[in-house]
Amino acid sequence: MSTSIFSKAAFTSNYERMTGNCTRIVAAEMVRIKSPLITSSSYVLDNACGPGIVTEQVKLLHPETKTLATDLSPSMIEEVQKRIENDNWGNVKTDTLDVRDLSKLADNTFTHVLTNMGIYVPNDPSASLQAIKEMYRILQVGGAAVTSMWADRVWLSAFYKTAMMIRPHEEPSNMLTVDPEVLRGSWLLKQIEDGGFGNNAEVRPFATSVSATSLDELVENMMLAAPMLFKGYSEEELSQVKPVLREELTKLRTYETLEGGAVRIGMKAWIGVGWKKGDEKEVPL
């Protein structure tokens, strides 16, 4: 069995092209949790699963592991269904569920709840804490919740600068803005602690990257985000985006050209773990 994190289905969807492996690299690390290990007898929830990136990594480690993949977006669940069929994933079920309300899932069910870049819900400041509380509730005692969040989104500043070049007198408004506080490791740790895990929590940094086989491909992949980020721009303005973006991407502090012309943009993520041990309510002295 291949242990490569880059499955043959990589980049089949727009989501995968846009993310350029950056969430897959984090997912591959998350599933390698040391305690408790994911084994063939684990029961894993891939929470806010997108097209099933975490599930894919679980299946690469242990094809038999029972896995539930859930997301609020039915189109993402359709992507997972396609992977189940095309890649013969056994023991994987799906459901359309909101990370904030997993009430369809019983208490003390899963050995692992993995939430890769799915804890932050825009315009809902209480979502992340609610999501962690739900993860805690559905975990078995002895289980662990592994949750990731961005520390930075380096590529986004290329879009920001592109927007400023095209509309120099207007602050870009659609830039997926988040409160900088949310990008701090201390923010993620607090959510995990306050969501029920108390002292049984830790957060560490982890390096990842967006990659493509060439700069041309990277630009094309990134351009998939343009309709979202340049809403309201005229056709004339939109036609300027690609060349400016191309230039700005190459100026990013973590932009690199690799052997063979492949390119990547380094990024930093946080990976947090909360362990449900049963002693979380003890008041530390």
DSSP 101: B
Among residues 100, 133, 184, 242, which is the contact residue for ligand SAM, using CB under 6 A? 100
200/208 with CB nearer ligand SAM: 208
121 near ligand SAM, rule: CB under 6 A: yes
The strand pair at 66-71 and 92-96 is best described as parallel
38/54 with CB nearer ligand SAM: 54
Query: What's the CA gap between 10 and 87, in Å, rounded?
Result: 12
> Least distance to ligand SAM from the beta carbon of 94, Å?
12
**Cβ atoms of residues 154 and 38 within 8 Å:** no
> Least distance to ligand SAM from the beta carbon of 52, Å?
8
The number of C-alpha atoms within 13 Å of 283 and in the hemisphere containing its C-beta is 1
99 near ligand SAM, rule: CB under 6 A: yes
> How many C-beta atoms surround the C-beta of residue 11 within 10 A?
18
Among residues 116, 128, 130, 200, which is the contact residue for ligand SAM, using CB under 6 A? 116
Span from 116-124, 152-160, 197-205, 248-256 in contact with ligand SAM (CB under 6 A): 116-124
Phi-psi map region of 11: left, alpha, beta (phi>0 left; psi -120 to 50 alpha): left
Among residues 31, 49, 149, 210, which is the contact residue for ligand SAM, using CB under 6 A? 49
**Residue 263: partners with Cβ closer than 8 Å, 6 or more residues away:** 211, 212, 214, 215, 218, 255, 256, 257
* Among 185, 191, 187, CA closest to 204: 185
Size of the site for ligand SAM (CB under 6 A): 18
Q: Minimal CB distance to ligand SAM: which residue?
A: 50
The strand pair at 139-150 and 263-275 is best described as antiparallel
182 near ligand SAM, rule: CB under 6 A: no
Span from 50-58, 172-180, 186-194, 273-281 in contact with ligand SAM (CB under 6 A): 50-58
23 near ligand SAM, rule: CB under 6 A: yes
153/246 with CB nearer ligand SAM: 153
Q: Strands, E, within 12-165: which ranges? A: 43-47, 66-71, 92-96, 110-116, 139-150
Among residues 44, 45, 68, 76, which is the contact residue for ligand SAM, using CB under 6 A? 76
70/200 with CB nearer ligand SAM: 70
27/267 with CB nearer ligand SAM: 27
Site string for ligand SAM, 55-74 (x = CB under 6 A): ----------------xxx-
Query: What's the CA gap between 84 and 97, in Å, rounded?
Result: 18
8, two tokens: 């043959």
94/200 with CB nearer ligand SAM: 94
DSSP letters spanning 149-202 = EES--HHHHHHHHHHHHHSTTS--S-S----GGGGSHHHHHHHHIIIIITTSEE
241 near ligand SAM, rule: CB under 6 A: no
**What is the binding site for ligand SAM (CB under 6 A)?**
23, 27, 48-50, 53-54, 71-73, 76, 98-100, 116-118, 121
